[in-house]
Amino acid sequence: MYRNFSDKDAILDVLLDEKLDALVALAHGAAKVEDAGAAVRDLMFGVMTMRASDRGLDAVLAEPGRRSRFSAALEEHFVPLARALVEQAIAAGELRPDFRAEEICLLGYMVGAVADITRDSDPGVWERYARLIIDGTRPGAHNLPLTPAALSFADSMTALGRAG
């Protein structure tokens, strides 16, 4: 496989494209789910699963130029799909009204961090925390307002770049 590439960067560029395609495919798949709440929960869990099981994403995004390209492509191809799903779920009363689609990537990173630190001791425990987070996005009389305001997509990507 490696003989087909001129160097390590060429391999990482292909891996980046594959990861982008997988995220966009998740969003397209979720858009086919009729129940708006289930669709956005499926998307969130899919993003969390990808991050929890794919330790290579951090390596692919280690180079700042590649990270910028990834962020721009996500903003162009993934965020609009996610935003539409979130808006539909909010309108259907299935998602708390102060949730923003731009938060999905950060939530995926959070769950991925749990997967990273528990991989050797309890490799599947990240799913518990994924479900806790996803359940916390559902509306309810007991929900406190989310403060401060959500980060913009650009600010989220900048923060994730600092985390890597």
Residue 12: inside a domain, yes or no? yes
Residue 45: what pLDDT?
Answer: 98
Query: 25-49 burial, b if ≥16 CB within 10 A, otherwise e?
Result: ebbeebbeeeebbebbbbbbbbbbb
Other CB atoms closer than 10 Å to residue 140's CB: what's the count?
A: 8
Give residue 71's domain range.
7-138+146-163
Residue 1 maps to a domain: no
Per-residue pLDDT of the chain (164 residues; tens, 9 = 90+): 556 788 888 888 888 999 999 999 999 999 999 999 999 999 999 999 999 998 777 777 777 888 899 999 999 999 999 999 999 999 999 999 999 999 999 999 999 999 999 999 999 999 999 999 999 999 987 888 888 888 898 888 888 777 65
Q: How many domains does the chain have?
A: 1
What CATH number does residue 105 fall under?
1.10.357.10
Q: Is-cis flag, bond preceding 123, omega within 30? A: no
Phi, psi of 146 (to 5 degrees): -85, 115
Domain assignment present for 92: yes
Q: Is there a domain that residue 104 lies in?
A: yes
What pLDDT score does 54 carry?
A: 87
